[in-house]
Amino acid sequence: MTAEPDTGTVLITGAARGIGAATARRMATCGWSVVLFDRDEKVADTAASIESAGGRALACRGDVTSESDWAAALARAHETFGPLDALVCNALATDHTPLHEMTLASWQRQLDVNLTGAFHGVRACLPDLRRDRRGAIVIVSSVHAGFGLPGVPAYAATKAGLTGLTRQLATEYGGEVRVNCVLPGPILTAQWDGSAEDERAASAAETVIGRLGDPEEVAGPIEFLLGASASFVTGATLTVDGGWSITKNSS
């Protein structure tokens, strides 16, 4: 058995804000060096706040759909911290539109960011992650992977695709890289900015805990899955939804 490290270098996509930023802060607090990859220029502020709190962080501006942006981010990460030990695929695109009104461009963009973005990221990072047979990947899917809710056909299809991709990658690289998936439920991030108060209250009431989650409450499970405590966990899907989905199952 190869002992897994409890720290190392992790690259997190969609890390400028929300769950990605919370994960970056959590990993840095736990002693990891963190590469924050996001297309939003605010990623520099998020990295700076981690550094001013005493962490090690590098901001890389780029789009997860761009092979050349991945190459540039990896080159900067190597220069700054050396090879990666872990990857979190978290960036998302979504469009709340029923399929009959959705444009092909919108459908394609969501597939490109959510699913093909993970493909690019995993392919770019695998040489690092496989190098000493103890890499780890967490893919951020959603409860939408397993439950039908109106208005998000492309998003739900990509999130279900990511759970399949998790199992496939875990099988393919089992002895070298652990690959797990988290399925967040309603988490209060900018994704909820346009929502009405009663919509938030209704979603909170659908959890058994009775509230929306905080991004930090997804960051903790991601940190667990990346670290040595999860050394025998691979191909798993960890639901982080305050019990939202168990009420669906029991209805």
Ligand X SMILES: NC(=O)c1ccc[n+]([C@@H]2O[C@H](COP(=O)([O-])OP(=O)(O)OC[C@H]3O[C@@H](n4cnc5c(N)ncnc54)[C@H](O)[C@@H]3O)[C@@H](O)[C@H]2O)c1
Q: Which residues are part of the catalytic machinery?
A: 155
| Bridge partners (DSSP) listed for residue 12 | 36, 88
Which of 229, 225, 220, 235 lies closest to 86 in space, CA to CA?
Answer: 225
Per CB under 6 A, the list member of 9, 33, 65, 239 interacting with ligand X is 65
CA distance linking residue 10 with residue 137, whole number of Å: 9
Return the residues of window 133-172 that contact ligand X according to CB under 6 A.
140, 142
Strand 135-140 with 177-184, pairing: parallel
Closest CA to 8 of 135, 194, 147: 135
Return the number of the residue (42 or 133) whose C-beta is nearest ligand X: 42
- Residue count at the site for ligand X (CB under 6 A)? 26
Decide: helix, strand or coil at residue 58.
strand
Among 8, 20, 55, 135, binds ligand X (CB under 6 A): 20
How far apart CA 13 and CA 169 sit, in angstroms, is 18
Q: Which is closer to ligand X, CB of 55 or CB of 242?
A: 242
Q: Which of 189, 207, 234, 239 binds ligand X (CB under 6 A)?
A: 189
Pick from 71, 75, 190, 246 the residue near ligand X by CB under 6 A: 190
**C-beta of 20 vs 227, nearer to ligand X:** 20
Stretch that binds ligand X, among 49-57, 188-196, 220-228, 231-239 (CB under 6 A): 188-196
**In this structure, are residues 178 and 155 in contact, taking their beta carbons and an 8 Å threshold?**
no
Stretch that binds ligand X, among 10-18, 73-81, 97-105, 228-236 (CB under 6 A): 10-18
Interacting residues of 173 by C-beta distance below 8 A, sequence separation 6+: 126, 129, 130, 135, 179
Residues that bind ligand X (CB under 6 A): 13-14, 16-20, 38-40, 63-65, 90-93, 113, 140, 142, 184, 186-187, 189-191
